[in-house]
Chain A
Amino acid sequence: MNLTEQLVALQIVVPLLSAPVVALLRPRWLAWAATTAASATAFAIAIAIALGVREGRAFGYQMGSWPAPYGIELAVDPFSAVLLLIITGASTFALLGGRLSVDTQIEQQRQPLFYAAWLLGLAGLAGIAASADAFNIFVFMEISSLASYVLIAGGPDRRALPSVFKYLIMGTVGATFYLIGVGLIYMMTGTLNLADMELRIHEVGDQSPILVAAGFITVGLALKAAVFPLHAWLPNAYTYAPHAVTVFLAACATKVALYILLRFDFVVFQQNLIGHDVKFSYFLMPLAVLAILVASGMAAFERNLKRLLAYSSVAQIGYIMLGASLVNHAGLTASIVHIFNHSLAKGTLFLAVACLAMRLDSLRLDGIAGAARNMPWTMAAFVVGGLSLIGIPGTAGFISKWYLIAAVLGEGPLGFLLVAAIVISSLLAVVYVWRVVETAYFQSPPDGAVPAREAPPEMLILTWTAALLNVYFGFASDLPLSLSSAASALLMGHLP
């Protein structure tokens, strides 16, 4: 009984049990400090697990010592290690950099409750990534979703409420679809453990219920992951959420749904259903290409800074799906690296947006005109994040675009069309990032506006740390690449 064996369970237990304590803590700075401490502990655990996984160590935990497949099992492989890093990292950065932003946006006496919901969301997301049990994943998914509805509804703008309602309806429909799929699989195999499920589906004679389950699970999770055209809930939810919450959720919430989607489709279905790889490609590749083009186009015409970045997120989910829909090792590696790198880029951008929001009244493009004169550091960090989003060499975004294009080119004639889509979308990304840069650097501030000051130093430090991480992982991409490659090998399993 040493600590290393308990790490996986602690990953979930620390934030989960801190949540009710935080709800009782007063004054509010203490609640913030406790939340940040719990989140930072989870981040440290995730780093320890990721380093261990890279050395080939396996992390697993049998809940209550009941052996799998009967008991509930937690297991971390390279894929979940990447996700845990993103989730806990995003939460910690958003908390450290978002304290002042939360102070201005959430009523003081409600802040302990807000932070408690935050920790529940963190525990739910980490639980999804660490769990190896299909039903447990559903429960964690609902914990994280309920918490994120509460967090988003905390936004001061009244339009946050209808957007949360929409998110709640669509999120619940997605989760219920997933539940139907899991039920159908349980009916045919009698197991809920993912590893066991993979083996037992081989023995199922009539595969039609499994096929229906594959449909329900893919569509349900695509709804949760905001895969185009099921992304309708995302732009408004991101726009009207408190800025710190946007940093947290934009960096990891949809990726976690993508993670289960890929895990189910590759591990459970691909290796068992005949011709599933072709159906998976034909269904998702057109959607991915549409997401890349249409959402980037929407972003290029959007006038609200946060909604612009939200549409860009929909496009980035398209990139991730495009890599996965190639159903080969290179494509999958590219998409998992992109999950990691896009979290870095979007996290940085939304942190910079939170800094801007501290000093400016409006986040519409005309509201940030001339902001770079008064807030040069904030805007410079925004530019670094933007460059990473576009995929300029020397930033993290370049690495994943490079791998994605290399993977796509291996597809022959179709590959050239897909490369064309990626290039067009990258150019659109240049357009929408440039529109923000142009407004902030070259336009004069609106008449009569009080000159804004630079954002508070503690927020700037965090934003710049995130921005520099984009540059760091642009050069030293060994950790995400080795983990992604191992994850991809694992998902591909014995597929050709």
Chain B
Amino acid sequence: MELLGHYNYWVFAVALMIGFYAVIARGNLIKKLLGLSIFQSAVFLMYITMDKVEGGTAPIIQPGVPDQIYSNPLPQVLILTAIVVGVSTTALGLAVVVRIKETYGSIEEHEIYEADQPS
């Protein structure tokens, strides 16, 4: 059952590769950014998965509950930061795409490439 027990990690690996594939294979800049977001979110999932302790609750110490099990809060805090980083990257990427559209009139990679070739 170990294979199924690691099911979150499988989702992580598959989502990571889907995102990475989109980044590499798609010529549309928006689709590339979408791929990048999936790619980053997969990593967030990995962090969140590793902090989960079976039967664990929120890390709040309660009076009268001596050996309480709680999940590790640190990865969640880290990922909160990483999400902010991811949002800023996506926002900046979209801003660049808007300016590319304004100056080139296209968001297709090959059309932008061709527009800059000396004719």
A positions within 8 Å CB-CB of B: 135, 138-139, 142, 146, 149-150, 153, 158-159, 161-162, 164-165, 168-169, 172-173, 176, 179-180, 183, 186-187
Does A169 contact B32, Cβ atoms closer than 8 Å? yes
Answer whether A162 and B88 are a contact pair too, CB < 8 Å, given A135-B78, A169-B32, A172-B40.
Answer: no
A150 vs B50: C-alpha distance when bound (angstroms)? 34
Answer whether A183 and B36 are a contact pair too, CB < 8 Å, given A149-B92, A153-B99.
Answer: no
Contact of B100 among A142, A165, A179, A187 (CB under 8 A): A165
A183 vs B47: C-alpha distance when bound (angstroms)? 6
Give the contacts of B78-104 with A (CB-CB under 8 A).
Answer: 78, 81-82, 85, 88-89, 92-93, 96-97, 99-100, 103-104
Does B36 contact A158, Cβ atoms closer than 8 Å? no
A187 vs B12: C-alpha distance when bound (angstroms)? 15
Residue of A with least CB distance to B99: A161
CB distance from B55 to the nearest CB of A (A): 19
Within 8 Å CB of B104, what residues of A?
158, 161-162
Complex A-B, nearest 4 residue pairs according to Cβ-Cβ distance, in ascending order: A142-B85, A158-B103, A187-B50, A161-B100
Within 8 Å CB of B40, what residues of A?
172, 176
Within 8 Å CB of A173, what residues of B?
20, 23, 36, 39
Residue of B with least CB distance to A171: B89
Q: Is the CB of B43 closer than 8 A to any CB of chain A?
A: yes
Q: Is the CB of B116 closer than 8 A to any CB of chain A?
A: yes
B positions within 8 Å CB-CB of A: 16, 20, 23, 29, 32, 36, 39-40, 43, 46-47, 50, 75, 78, 81-82, 85, 88-89, 92-93, 96-97, 99-100, 103-104, 109, 112-113, 116
Grouping DSSP codes into helix (H, G, I), strand (E, B) and loop, the A interface class, with mixed when no group exceeds half, is helix
How many residue pairs, one in A and one in B, have C-beta atoms under 8 Å apart?
Answer: 68
Within 8 Å CB of A150, what residues of B?
92
Does A169 contact B36, Cβ atoms closer than 8 Å? yes
A183 vs B85: C-alpha distance when bound (angstroms)? 16
Does A176 contact B92, Cβ atoms closer than 8 Å? no
CB distance from A173 to the nearest CB of B (A): 7
Does B82 contact A179, Cβ atoms closer than 8 Å? yes
Does A139 contact B97, Cβ atoms closer than 8 Å? no
CB distance from B78 to the nearest CB of A (A): 5
Within 8 Å CB of A164, what residues of B?
96
Residue of B with least CB distance to A164: B96
Does A172 contact B43, Cβ atoms closer than 8 Å? no
Within 8 Å CB of B113, what residues of A?
162
Does B85 contact A139, Cβ atoms closer than 8 Å? yes
A179 vs B42: C-alpha distance when bound (angstroms)? 11
Within 8 Å CB of B99, what residues of A?
153, 161
Does B89 contact A172, Cβ atoms closer than 8 Å? yes
Extra contacts, 15 of them, besides A142-B85, A146-B88, A172-B36 (Cβ < 8 A), are A135-B81, A158-B104, A159-B116, A161-B104, A162-B100, A162-B109, A162-B113, A168-B92, A168-B96, A173-B39, A176-B40, A176-B43, A183-B46, A183-B50, A186-B75
Residue of A with least CB distance to B37: A172
Residue of A with least CB distance to B103: A158
Does B97 contact A165, Cβ atoms closer than 8 Å? yes
Within 8 Å CB of B16, what residues of A?
180
CB distance from B11 to the nearest CB of A (A): 15
CB distance from A216 to the nearest CB of B (A): 10
- Please list 5 pairs of residues, one from A and one from B, whose beta carbons are closer than 8 Å in the complex, sorted by A's number: A139-B81, A142-B85, A149-B92, A179-B43, A180-B16
A203 vs B13: C-alpha distance when bound (angstroms)? 27
